[in-house]
Structure formats: C-alpha cells, structure tokens
Structure 1
C-alpha cells in the first residue's frame, strides 16, 4: 500500500497529508464512500457537524475493522454552537455520532466575525475541549490573518491547523505565510476549485507531459507546497486517481507555473463577511 506522508502539527500530533473529504456526500452514501476510501488506502477522513454525515463516517470506521489508532478523524464545530456551553455540548455530540472517544482534530468551522458571539470565546471553549481529552488537536477553518492574530494575542494556545480555501486560482499566500510563520499547518479545501481549474491550459500541458490527469497534477502541487488535502469523490475510480500522487513529482518550473495561475478567485464564501448559521 502507498505510504502517505505525514505532517507533524505544533503539538506533536501527526496527520496524514492526504485525506478523504465527505463534504456534500449525502448521509446515506457516506458509509459506503468512506469504506471505499479505506479500501483504496486513505487513513484520514475530514467531516463536519454541518455536513450531517458524521454518523456515516463512524459506521464506516466500525465496519472497516481498522484500528482506531490507524485512522485520523477531523470534525468541525457547527456555526450555531459558538457559545461556550453550546460548543462543549456539540463536541460531545460529534463524538457520539462518530462513535469514538476522541477526535484527532476538531476545528471551528467559520470565524463568523459579524455575529454577536466572539470567536475568541469560542476558541477558549475549544481549548477546554482539548484539555478534556476530547480532541488530540484543535484548530480553525476559514480564519483570515486578523482572526488568527487575535487568537494568538488573546489566548495561550496556537491553532494546530487552519483549513482554508486554496487552489491554483486562489493560492491564499498571505494566510498560508502567516500560518507557516506561527506553526499553523494549512489544510486546503476546494483543492481543485470545484473542478474550475481542470480545464486550465497550463495544467493540461503539464498533465499531458507527465501522463497524469489535471486533478492529479493539481493535488500534487498542493502536496509539494506542504498543504494537507482531502479531495472528495463517491466514484471509486476518482477516489483511486486522487490517491495516486506519490509516484511522480512536479519540477520547480511546473510548481511556479501553477502558482502563477492565481487570480484570487474564490469558489466559496468570503470569511470576512460569511455569517450563515444552519437552522
């Protein structure tokens, strides 16, 4: 089986650099999708309370026969639970849905800077969750540099991870650089821009020369930059394709050409104004 490289987070926890994401996977399809990912070789699953499919991840883990220690599981705090007591309860609900005693990584899903609950207070609740042993590591998602700076200035725990939108059309260099400076690992969601980059001529030329797909080239670019990625598919052939990233390399020229595609183009919401709270 292919050995997936790991990244050591700032608290010593190691995370596989390539994982399997279940965003937009319907709850009734999640178990089978994750079982397929396990069969292919993935050992890192990224879910969230907001996705409503944590239970399917837990069912797949139980059915797989894999040791709990061999699978890295991430979930994220839903936007409606930013108050301390709500966050503590939500963590317990995630653990119950997943069927585990401890998550490997638990993230604040969005900073929600325009609502009346300060994300710094939410982060303090996350610190409690970590110290209670309910998550091996804690982090954030979609936090911009000013959000991160406040956490560093006003609390004593640096996030282990910041999960942000990153792809060749949105390289997000400022946030990545701040993370690197402060020991915060970058996880890249929407790593192929929801497919928007797959027809790009630069990526197509590189892929043709290497005998790879544009998706593989894009994911390999992330890997070589040091991003943690977790592409999603419910099609086995795509799941296998997305895993086949470790028997080729991109040249420095390829890397620079792909990075040069940046156009600051988001596929998702702007974290500075996004304030959605699920009903």
Structure 2
C-alpha cells in the first residue's frame, strides 16, 4: 500500500520527508492506543501523531518500539505543552520529556501544540525548536493551531515554519488560514480532517464522487486534502477503515470536484479559538 510523502522545508529541515497521511491518536490511551497504533502500522501507516497533552505518548511509544517495521521507516509527530515554552533549555526539557515517555531516541516532528499568545513566548519557542533540530533530538519542528497573525509574528522574527497543523474539514475549510500558510510556504496539517459528527454521505457532492470512483465519502475527503498538499491525520482503530484511509492514491479528483467540495465551506472556524484556548 503506497503512502506518499511531502518535504518539510524550513530552518534545518529541508531534507525531511513526512508521510502524507498520519494516524491521529487522541483521545485513546493505554492498551487501546497501543493496539490501535500496532494495527495501523501493520496496515501500512508510517506516520503516527500524538501529543504530550493526550496522555498517550507512552502507549504510542510502546507500539513503535515493538513495531513490525524498523524505527527509521516510521515518522512520529508529537506536540509541546506550554510548560516547556521559552528558551532552548526549557524547550529541550520538553523534548526530553517526550523521549522518556515514548522510549524513543528521537522525535521526527515536534510541534507547538497551541500558541498560548497570552504567555508571549511562542516566537521564542519556535526559535528554540529550530535551534534544537541540530541536536538530533528532533528531525523537524512546526506549530499547531496558529492563526495567520501568529504565523506572521514568527515569520517576522526571521523563521521559516515547516508545518502548521490546524482543524480543516469540508465544512470548515478556513480558506483564509490555508492561504496565509501557503503565502509563507508552510505545509498544512489537518486534524479532524473528515469533520466532527458529520455524516459525509449527506452531501451529494461527496456521495456522487464516491460512487464515481468506487470509494467511500471518507476517502473522497482525504483525497481532497492530499491533492491540495495537506497532511490529514484521521483517527481510526478499525482495521478496515485504516486500510481504507490509506487507499486514496490511485485516483484523482478533477478541479471541478475539488471546487465543489471547497464550496461546502460554511465559514466555520476551529472548534477552539487559539487566542483563548491553550495548554
């Protein structure tokens, strides 16, 4: 089963390739999380997405260490909570915390989970992460839930942001946010990529495309993401759905079909406001 990759560009990480579909792991913890990740790797996943806040880095790490494929064939993303914001020493302590929890020697991609602008430290934290790439503890860095103004502040500090993971689905496409990332050359990651509590078959454009290509509506939405250069991280513990989520590289949506899915956007924003929520 083919899994394509995209390059992450930015300070110190120009050669890092990220598999274009990842496995989201929130909110599962413990054995449930370990079993889900193990099954996903056996089904072809090579990108696993976790976070300090999820409380499952240990369970994910257990599955990675016992995986049926070598560590260097896997791409592990995790995310920094705000207690580790700030200078290089404090950010390094946060990375080392994740390494202890996962039992891994390095993290492929460390994201700032939320900008927490009230702390006034996210730009400094980005600079610290960029510097720490050279240590080998992380291969790449990025951000999550950053609004256009947060991105601009980081760029104004002279930093190239490799990736920003934000909430995007067909009804909450956030085209202005996507455009802001594109303007700065930032790869967009998409969490909750098929929406929260959406019945995708309710939408004729998705239902008709699924019938045309012999795919499910979920596969149509994931193809909509990857064809536009995004990194979706759907969560599923179902083996069949996991295989289905990866099986989106053997067809191509037309420009008209992509435009029709884009038109489903109803102006919704992310469920949580990054200026008000954070950890």
2:28 paired residue among 14, 25, 28: 25
How many Å separate the matches in 2 of 1:272 and 1:21? 24
Output the aligned Cα RMSD: 1.6
How many Å separate the matches in 2 of 1:260 and 1:272? 27
Partner of 2:187: 185
How do 1:125-140 and structure 2 match up within 5 A? 125-140=128-143
Q: CA deviation at 1:273?
A: 2.2
How many Å separate the matches in 1 of 2:216 and 2:68? 32
How many Å separate the matches in 2 of 1:262 and 1:117? 32
Partner of 1:94: 98
How many Å separate the matches in 1 of 2:207 and 2:231? 23
Determine if contact 1:168/1:197 at 8 Å carries over to the other structure: no
Partner of 1:208: 211
Partner of 1:106: 110
Partner of 1:160: 162
How many Å separate the matches in 1 of 2:47 and 2:166? 17
Determine if contact 1:20/1:46 at 8 Å carries over to the other structure: yes
Q: CA deviation at 1:211?
A: 2.4
Partner of 1:142: 145
Once the two structures are overlaid, the 10-residue window that deviates more, 142-151 or 63-72, is: 63-72
Partner of 1:8: 7
Determine if contact 1:83/1:117 at 8 Å carries over to the other structure: no
> Where does structure 1 lack aligned partners over 5 or more consecutive residues?
none
How many Å separate the matches in 2 of 1:197 and 1:178? 29
2:126 paired residue among 117, 123, 127: 123
In the alignment of these two chains, the number of paired residues is: 273
Partner of 1:226: 229
Partner of 1:67: 70
Q: Give the ranges of 4+ consecutive aligned residues of structure 1 lying more than 3 Å apart after TM superposition.
A: 83-86
How many Å separate the matches in 1 of 2:221 and 2:269? 16
How many Å separate the matches in 1 of 2:100 and 2:184? 33
Once the two structures are overlaid, the 10-residue window that deviates more, 99-108 or 178-187, is: 178-187
Q: CA deviation at 1:262?
A: 0.7
TM-score (norm 1): 0.92
> Where does structure 2 lack aligned partners over 5 or more consecutive residues?
none
Q: CA deviation at 1:180?
A: 2.0
- Aligned-partner SS, 2:152: helix
Q: CA deviation at 1:264?
A: 2.0
How many Å separate the matches in 2 of 1:112 and 1:6? 30
Determine if contact 2:167/2:192 at 8 Å carries over to the other structure: yes
After superposition, give the CA deviation of every residue in 1:119-166 in whole Å (9 maximum; x if it has no partner): 112222322332322111110001111111111112x33111000111
Cα distance change on mapping 1:195 and 1:206 into 2, 3 Å:
farther
